[in-house]
Structures are given as structure tokens and as C-alpha cells.
Amino acid sequence: MTYLTAKYIRAAVAKDPRFDSNVEFDEPGKAIVWLADGYTWYALDSNRSVEGFVIDEDNSDNAERDTIAYWKGQVANITAIVD
């Protein structure tokens, strides 16, 4: 199991135009990732444009760290918003 890191997220976001380039790290141990206009993490979930990922054991949610496999699963659910 490989844990998700800030470095991994930054690299993935930089090469995928579906992401907004601004990743926020304002909560301890957590990355907040925004999508570019026109995309959603889940079309059936009110077209959400933001998702949080836990990247450190010491985090504001007291949650387990996310893995790269979890990240890939979330990214696979990104879809274009259809009007």
C-alpha cells in the first residue's frame, strides 16, 4: 500500500487539465483539490468541484491517510459537466 503525498498530488494536478492548478494545504495533513471549470468529481453528487485528501497521519480530521489507489479511484470518477 502506497500512501498519497503532497508531491504526488502536485505532479498529478500539473499534468491533467481537468484540475485547477491551485491545491490548498491549509488544513493540517490534508490537501484540498479543486477541479477546473466544467468538471465534477461526481455528477450524481451535485456537481462537486472540490475534494479533500488526507496526506499525513497527523491531520485535522483524525482520519487514516489516503492511498494512491484511493486517489486513482476518485480521479476515475471525474466527469465533464453536461448542461
Predicted confidence (pLDDT) per residue in 21-78, tens digit: 999 998 999 999 999 999 999 877 778 899 999 999 999 889 999 999 999 999 999 9
Is residue 61 a contact partner of residue 30, using CB atoms and an 8 Å limit?
A: yes
pLDDT for 41: 93
pLDDT band at 15 (very low <50, low <70, confident <90, very high): very high
82 has pLDDT over 90: no
The pLDDT score that the predictor gives to residue 46 is 78
* Per-residue cell: 9: 498530488
